[in-house]
Structure 1
């Protein structure tokens, strides 16, 4: 397949030398260019008691006003401003205003415990901390070096839209702006207890990644992005928020993962771009397929036949007949307006990927890490491969496999303008993740094909070595269970010591059964009566999955767990709790 050279950022040349002077604009410069192009278009939308929308012109006015207030109140170039809260236009305005003031934004996970947030604030030492209403009072009560503001209009004196500078124009003209190579954000990926690890991302990192990713995916000013996953996370921050404002698209902020609210916002927001994690897409698909099965075996059989035909036509011709064939099904699931769905934050099972495409949804996968801003691979809609997490972006970046084995599998390494500056105040940790010649080591194991598509196996540190010396990747086995999410809510695969003398590992599955399974079996979780039927049902699923795995990959021990294991923002199990 010949790579098609596209430059979605060619339009920037009209502003080069005027609005910006570097290779890439900074985030404020990028947003200002978009406002010039699409000022009257909707920018930020939220559904509260009614639909509330800011146009790009209105959003910029609020951003500049808050930036001027921050500057008048002592925030200067390079200072830190932290923000933590539910997805909202206020969060977005605060983020952009911080950058317009020349400062560095510190997005913090609102789902963390108060003491964990305090730990990140101490590590980053912000001048201001904007926090949502539920945690505002607690942080106001602390004696700290940072000033606490609110993202909620319930605290009018500290609310970002109410903070007015004394002299707007004078403040704006005296701001020293950040440059392309200056820090834009510090993203904390882990270490919420002990020493936090902050990824330092520059304006160049984020803006270059935003536009380069569009080499494999066309997005338009007419698109409507749904910010459902927490926006503090690099995936949502770049792939939804920054991508949208780079082209003048609309962002609809979802504040809750409750299914009823999500479906309402998908429908009323007329969402065209849905970005999520595998767990979200598994749950959505489980609901769709249940609705089809409920129509009886004849209808279900016919639908499955049509889905197969739809997929075949799409792969051979590039046309998408499923959008029309299954319009009623998609409309019932509030997905009829979707143009594209993207799964990231972890590998999605190829079987799930295929079913969405069979139903007529242009569904693709991407790959990246916080340290790479994050997108470094994306499946083109017209040339997707269901087993791959995407194609990387030559010639704008490089990717290679370090020390590949006989199957071409090794650690994925990356070079490019999206690779982080380093970890905040952690030179040794920074040096550990770079090779001597400057390649960033991802810690992920994978292989590349001759068309630049990446196939992931798992995390290097999670790899299990069996008695026969075979390498087993837990993520590959876990992915095989993704179509059973109605019965199994959470499955985590790990190695266990089978033989202390030889130190050989077997494969164990930690399983948290789903509520739907208990309901179907008519038993209550945690009761003696539930133990045998639940165990039998789970063992049956494990046996079915094992048949499709290689002998050395098969699960030999299944443990039912009474509580789900703790998960990250992107719904991945924190494996430190399961090892």
Structure 2
């Protein structure tokens, strides 16, 4: 039986299309913010104004035109966050091509697969990543470009890319004889219904799902950021989440560039030491982050302070506790640059203890909710309206309902529809049909509740996906598929324990016995080798900490799939 709680947007009706044209947002921004700083590579002498970015885009457009790149063709980008990553992305979408951002954490096999599956014709990549790829396995690519300086790293036989790039300045002079001016910024005219982005939720063959996001989906996220004034002209942001992820991309990059914000790109692993120094130097006006960063600050800085005997005593005294909390809040805000209006946390579940403490000291943070399929935002509330343990309020351009198979259940699946919902999965009609209900709602796979004001409370996940503490999507089936192909493993189950991945393995004892290897030391040696081999073949955030032998086959459903929920709470004996 169906039982729905449906909350409709309070402020406006769900519209058929965002009125602002996505590409025109950037055409206008580059003109209006011509002299303002646009992109800076942190710690490097690389700075671009909006006008300089527009000129770089114009040069790439001349290259695309020379190569007869057609609207709707795919251009892939993989590498660390830097200015040229952003310029390549902007040049692609403003030309009318489809951008395919790839996480630099993916291993080479996964990169090969995504480039081929997406049918990308150009690839922009860091030099180090290109060295790990095999050009003969990327036969569809016409050319490869460096994210260091846009030089051509590889061109297919018969292409004239390298020759053209040698004379790019002359081409610019001929095209713009009076020099490139803001009046020369004229981008393609494409409706918001067109697919603009393919975002792969995974790299592995058989599991790949290229999320097709339209200009409307992206405009929905960006215009929400504009009208709620998350960022404004002249603001500063520090971009440290991977731009190949929908979350960081939508706000640190796309919204920022649309309004005239100065984006500093960290371009390195955001360890607490590095990121705190960067916050102090950049002094961002908005911080977009994942729980890991905030939780580390709490654990390393705040917890030792409030755990001291004298401090515990002081915090137990009325009025004095508020003064101390005020001092802690002040120091924390100063440590993060001192200028931000709020911190938006998303991408993974927040530690309840940390959340409770931050609310107690009135720290300006909020928790949002989204998924790649919504590019990503589903719900958000400003920090002073944020309801504790919630994930914000349904956006005014979205609606949500809770689907309960059993009307008596406390929770149900969160299902959404609206401006931000994707067009489907690329070349995967089966997966697309599976993720949408018959009446057109997107199944999020998340279990939760919703209050009368539209605040979403996530209680668990009906999907098998594991979110790492840094917000990366981990699909255990992919890791298990690799494990199950390894010596003396019949079946496996990957679970999360203490924020680490552990593989439960049922060994092939029969084969072991036939070879006279059924001894504990032999089995341990074999599994140690399997673990080493596995971790060499997966992304850094997918690495398994240990293989734990399980004594029996796993319990299965009539469809012969493992009943995962029976094993999620297994603890080490």
Task: Answer whether TM exceeds 0.5 for this pair.
Answer: yes
Deviation at 1:205, TM superposition (A): 0.8
Q: Give the corresponding residue for 2:43.
A: 48
Q: Does 1:258 align with 2:276?
A: no
Structure 1 position 244, deviation (Å): 1.2
CA distance in structure 1 between the aligned counterparts of 2:197 and 2:339, rounded to whole angstroms = 33
**Cα contact 1:213–1:393 (8 A) shared by 2:** no
Deviation at 1:236, TM superposition (A): 0.9
Q: 1:349 aligns with which of 344, 348, 351?
A: 351
* 1:70-103 alpha-carbon deviations (Å, 9 max, x no partner): 2222212011000000001110000000112210
Alpha-carbon distance in structure 1 between the residues aligned to 2:169 and 2:99: 20
Q: Counterpart in 2 of 1:37? A: 32
Q: Give the conservation status (yes or no) of the 8 Å contact 1:353–1:364.
A: no
Report the alpha carbon displacement of residue 330 of structure 1 after superposing the two structures with TM. Answer: 4.0
**Deviations 1:287-336, CA, capped at 9 Å, x for gaps:** 22145258x4324554687999659xxxxxxxxx96766433543x4443
2:100 to 75, 95, 106: 106
Determine the C-alpha separation between the residues in 2 that align with 1:136 and 1:199.
24
Give the distance between the partners of 2:48 and 2:304, measured in 1 at CA.
Answer: 37
Once residues 202 and 108 of structure 2 are traced to their aligned partners in structure 1, the CA distance between those partners, rounded to angstroms, is 15
SS in 2 for 1:398: strand
- Contact 1:362–1:381 at 8 Å: present in 2 too? yes
Report Cα offsets for 1:149-169 as digits up to 9, x if no partner: 111239577899989376448
Distance in 1 (alpha carbons) for counterparts of 2:266 and 2:542: 17
Map 1:113-512 to 2 at 5 A: 113-139=107-133, 141-142=135-136, 144-146=139-141, 147-153=143-149, 164=168, 167-168=171-172, 177-212=189-224, 218-255=230-267, 256-290=269-303, 292-293=305-306, 296-299=308-311, 301-302=313-314, 310=322, 326-331=329-334, 333-394=335-396, 396-403=397-404, 405-462=407-464, 510-511=497-498
Gaps of 5+ in 2: 1-8, 155-161, 177-183, 477-494, 502-530, 546-561, 569-573
* Separation (CA, whole Å) in 2 of partners of 1:280 and 1:184: 31
Q: CA deviation at 1:199?
A: 0.4
Distance in 2 of aligned mates of 1:361 and 1:162: 53
- Secondary structure (helix, strand or coil) at the match of 1:461 reads coil
Q: TM-score, normalised by structure 2?
A: 0.71
Q: 1:176 to 1:380 in 2, by over 3 A?
A: closer
Question: Alpha-carbon deviation of 1:344?
Answer: 0.6
CA RMSD of aligned residues (A): 4.1
| Residues 15-53 of structure 1, C-alpha deviations (whole Å, 9 max, x = no match) | xxxxxxx84344431112222333322221212344x33
- Give the distance between the partners of 2:237 and 2:437, measured in 1 at CA: 37
Instruction: Give the CA deviation at 1:217.
Output: 6.0
- In structure 1, the residue corresponding to 2:72 is in which secondary structure? coil
Shift in Å at residue 170 of structure 1? 5.3
User: C-alpha displacement at 1:513, in angstroms?
Assistant: 8.3
**Which whole-Å CA distance do the structure 1 matches of 2:167 and 2:404 have between them?**
55
Give distance in 2, aligned partners of 1:157 and 1:415: 42
1:215 deviation in Å?
Answer: 5.8
TM value normalised by structure 1: 0.70
- Relative distance call for 1:377 and 1:134 in structure 2 (3 A) is same
Q: State which of 68, 76, 86 in structure 1 corresponds to 2:80.
A: 86
Q: Deviations over 1:425-446 (max 9, x none)?
A: 1112111111111111111111
Further displaced range: 264-273 or 422-431? 264-273
Cα distance, 1:567–1:4 mapped onto 2, change above 3 Å:
farther
Query: Aligned partners of 1:45, 1:442: CA distance in 2, in Å?
Result: 36
Structure 1 residues 371 and 157: alpha-carbon distance in aligned structure 2, compared to 1, 3 A threshold: closer
Unpaired runs of 5+ residues, structure 1, are: 8-21, 312-320, 464-473, 483-489, 493-507, 515-561
The answer for the alignment partner of 1:554 in structure 2 is none
Report what 2:60 is aligned to.
66
Count of aligned residue pairs for this structure pair: 466
Shift of 1:130: 0.6
When residues 376 and 33 of structure 1 are mapped into structure 2, their CA distance, relative to the original with a 3 A threshold, is same
Kindly indicate whether the alpha-carbon contact (under 8 Å) linking 2:291 and 2:350 is maintained by their aligned counterparts in 1: yes
Contact 1:71–1:101 (8 Å) recurs in 2: no
Secondary structure of the structure 1 residue equivalent to 2:124: strand
For the residue of structure 2 that corresponds to 1:199, the secondary structure is: strand
CA distance in 2, matches of 1:33, 1:175: 10
